[in-house]
Amino acid sequence: MSTYKPTSSFSRSWFSSPEEAVGALVSYGVDKELVVEDDRIFVTNALLDVLQLEPGPDFDPLRPVWYGALEDILAYLLDDAVSRGVCEDGTASRDLFDTRIMGCITPPPSMVRYLFEKYRLFFGTKATDFLYKLAQDSDYIRTYRVRKNRTWASDTRYGKLDITINLSKPEKDPRAIAAARTKSGDSYPPCMLCRENEGYAGRLDYPARQTLRLVPVRLAWEQWFLQYSPYAYYPEHCIVLSKRHVPMSITSKTFIRLLDFVRTFPHYIIGSNADLPIVGGSILAHDHFQGGRYQFAMARAKVKRHIEFPDFTDVRAAIIDWPLSVIRLSSKRQSSLEVLGNRIFEAWRAYSDESVGVLAASGGEPHNTVTPIARRRSNREFELDIVLRNNRTSQEHPLGIFHPHAELHHIKRENIGLIEVMGLAVLPARLLDEMERLQEAIRAGEDMEGIPELASHVPWAHEILDRHPELVPGVDTEVVRQVIQDEIGQVFARVLEDCGVFKDDAAGNAAFVRFVRSMGGRELT
C-alpha cells in the first residue's frame, strides 16, 4: 500500500524528528521501487549513518511513514543537518549532501543494468521508460528545478521554434567559487562525461553523482553508455558517451554509431555536436552524442529542393527549408546512409567556395565539419540530417563568421550546438529578469536608455516598439509578455540564419547546388 501523503496538506515541518523524515524517505523509495521491502532496515541504517543520527530505542525502521513531495523531505533533512553542523549551508554543499542521501536509496548499477537489458530485449520502449523514471525518482533529474524553466514556442518562417530560459542549473555560491580558486587541479574523474562519474561523491566545484546510473549500449561494435541529462532541456534528454575519454571527433564511424542507436531505440532521435570550436558544443574533450524522445522543429522542416546521388538509388535526398544548410537523407537501408553520409562529410571537410566565404582551412587549421542527426520515421525509414558547419573568424566577426552576429548577442552569444541547431534555444537565466524589467519599462513608458540592466537590449527594444504600436503605456501585461516572447523567437531564427553557410538567397542557393554537384549529386527539377 502506498504511503504517499498529498502535498497539498503537507509541509516540511510536519515531521516530528529527522528520524521520522528518514522513515518517510525510505517509504518513498519503496513506493517508487527504488528500494525493495527486504532492504528497508539496511537502507534506513545507511541513511542514519550519512545523517549522523542516533535514534532512540522506540525508533522502528520497519514502520512505513507517510510522506509528501521528495523536495520537502530533502529540505527538512538538509535544514536539520545544517543546524547540527553535519552539512555546511550553501547551494553547492546542500546539493552534494542531498545527492549523498539519495544515493542510499538508489538501486546499484548492476541491478539497473540487468533490468534495463531485460526490458530492452522483451518490452521495447519500457527499457528507456524505466531508466528515465529512475533518473527522476532518484532525484538525479531534479524535476522541481526543471519545472522552473520558462519555455514557449514562437512562430517563424521555419515553423514553431522552441525557446527555453534555463533556470534549473543553480548558480555557484561564493563559497564554492572560493574553494575552486584555492583547490589544486583534480584529474578524477577526467571530465564530467566519463563513466568514472557513476557514484562519485563530488566536491564543491564538481557535482555529486551517487544517483547517476549508466547502461551499456553497443554502437559500431564498441561499448558506449546511455544516461540522462540532469538538466532535461526536453523530454527524455539523454547523453550517449564513449567508454573511452577521447575528444569529440566526426569520422565514418560517427554515422554508423548514430544509425545503430536509432535502430536499437527507434523512438529516440540522436545527434552529435560538431567537433570544432565555435560550432561545437560546450564539451569537446569527451566523445558523446545527445538524444531524446522529442520531435524538434527541424524534423518538421519541409523539403526546399530535391537532389539525388545516382550511385545511391535506394536513398532519397533533399536540401531542407531550414536556416542552417542541411542535406537530408532517407532510406530503409542503414548501410547506404552510413556510406553516403560519410561521403558528404568528407567532401565538405575539403570544400572551399570563396564566393560565399567558405574556406576548408587556413593557417593549417581546419574550418569545415558537420552536425549530424539521426532518427527513424513512422514508416521505419532511417533519416540522416547532415548540417554543414564552418568555424572561420574575421576582424568583422571575431567570434565566428557563421556564428550569431554581434547585434544578436544580447539574446544569444554562446556556441550554437546540436540542440540549438535542431530548433531549441537554450537561453541564460539572466534573460528572464531582463525581460521582466523590459516588460515593466514598456508598461510604464520609461526611458530605457537610463535602465542599466537593459543597456544591451535598447536598440532591439526600440525596434519592438516600432513594430508594435499597440505597446503603449498601461498596456496589458500579458500582451507585452507575448510580444517579447515572440520577438525572442524571431531573434533565435536570425541566430540560426547567421550560422548557415549557404544563405537563402540567389548566391547561397547556387553555391549549395555547386557543392552537391562537386560530390556527384545533382538537383532534381
pLDDT tens across 262-303, in order? 999 999 999 999 999 999 888 899 999 999 999 999 999 999
Of 396, 399, 342, 422, give the one whose Cα is nearest residue 161.
422
> Does residue 4 have a pLDDT over 60?
no
pLDDT of residue 278: 94
pLDDT of residue 43: 98
Domain check: are 382 and 448 in the same one?
A: no
Q: Is 321 part of a structural domain of the chain?
A: yes
Residue 339 has pLDDT above 90, yes or no: yes
pLDDT value of residue 525: 74
Mean pLDDT over all residues of the chain? 93
Q: How many helices (H) and strands (E) does the chain have?
A: 15, 16
Name 74's Cβ contacts closer than 8 Å, sequence gap at least 6: 25, 98, 101, 102, 139
For the ranges 4-8, 26-30, 88-92, 391-395, the lowest mean pLDDT is seen at 4-8
CA–CA distances in Å: residue 233 to residues 141, 143, 310, 419: 11, 11, 40, 9
Say if residue 327 is in the same domain as residue 284.
Answer: yes
Cβ–Cβ contacts within 10 Å for residue 372, how many?
26
Q: Is residue 486 part of a domain?
A: yes
C-alpha cell at 114: 540487468
Express each pLDDT in 24-75 by its tens digit. 999 999 999 999 999 999 999 999 999 999 999 999 999 988 888 999 999 9
Confidence category of residue 175, pLDDT binned at 50, 70, 90: low
Name the grid cell of 358. Answer: 567558405
Q: What are phi and psi of 89, to 5 degrees?
A: -80, 165
Q: How far apart are CA 513 and CA 525, in angstroms?
A: 12
Distance CA 114, CA 455 (A): 55
Please give, one letter per residue, the 3-state secondary structure of 171-202.
CCCHHHHHHHHHCCCCCCCCCCCCHHHCCCCC
Structurally, the chain folds into a number of domains equal to: 3
Q: What is the pLDDT of residue 169?
A: 65
% of residues, the chain, pLDDT over 90: 89
The per-residue pLDDT for 281 is: 83
Handedness of CA 190, 193, 194, 198 (dihedral sign): positive
Nearest in space to 288 (alpha carbons), one of 248, 261, 318: 248
302 and 389 fall within a common domain: yes
Regarding whether 71 and 23 lie in a shared domain, the answer is yes
Identify the three-state secondary structure at position 167. coil
pLDDT at 168: 75
Q: Examine residue 55 and say whether the peptide bond preceding it is cis (omega within 30 degrees of 0).
A: no
pLDDT higher than 60, residue 507: yes
DSSP 263-327: HH-TT-EEE--BSSTTTB-S--SS-EEEEES---GGGGPPEEEEEE-TT-TT-EEEEESSSS-EE
Position 79 pLDDT exceeds 50: yes
Is 408 a domain residue?
Answer: no
Residue 306 and residue 328 share a domain: yes
- 226-235 pLDDT, tens digit each: 999 999 999 9
Cβ-proximal residues to 334 (8 Å cutoff; 6+ apart), any chain? 259, 260, 263, 382
Question: What's CA 406's distance to the chain center, in Å?
Answer: 25
- Within-domain flag for 386: yes
Q: Residue 33's domain spans which residues?
A: 7-87
Confidence check: pLDDT of 3 > 70:
no
- Beta-carbon neighbour count of residue 13 at 10 Å? 9
Residues 261 and 376 in one domain: yes
Query: How does residue 17 score in pLDDT terms, banded at 50, 70 and 90?
Result: very high
pLDDT at position 13, please? Answer: 58
Position 201 in a domain: no
Listed range (1-15, 63-77, 409-423) with the worst mean pLDDT: 1-15
Q: Are 342 and 283 members of one domain?
A: yes
Q: Which of residues 69, 87, 105 is at a domain's end?
A: 87
| One domain, residues 369 and 446 | no
pLDDT of residue 171: 47
Per the CB < 8 A criterion, the answer to whether 153 and 424 are in contact is: no
CB atoms within 10 A of CB 244: 12
Same-domain status, 349 and 463: no
pLDDT score, position 6: 39
Other Cβ atoms within 10 Å of 444 Cβ, number: 10
388 and 437 housed in the same domain: no
Mean pLDDT along residues 107-135: 95
Q: pLDDT at position 282, please?
A: 81
Cell numbers 537563402 correspond to 504
Domain boundary among 87, 113, 130: 87
445 conformational bin, left if phi > 0, alpha if psi -120 to 50, beta if neither: left
pLDDT for 166: 87
Grid cell in block for residue 453: 540592466
In a domain, 278, yes or no: yes
Q: What's the predicted TM-score (pTM) here?
A: 0.93
Residues 479 and 511 in one domain: no
Q: Is the pLDDT of residue 5 over 90?
A: no
pLDDT(9) > 90: no
Residue that finishes a domain, picked among 87, 102, 127: 87
Contact 369, 389 (CB under 8 A): yes
- Both 364 and 511 in a single domain? yes
Write the CB contacts of 299 (distance below 8 Å, at least 6 apart in sequence): 269, 375, 422
Whole-number pLDDT of residue 265: 97
Higher pLDDT, 218 or 68: 218
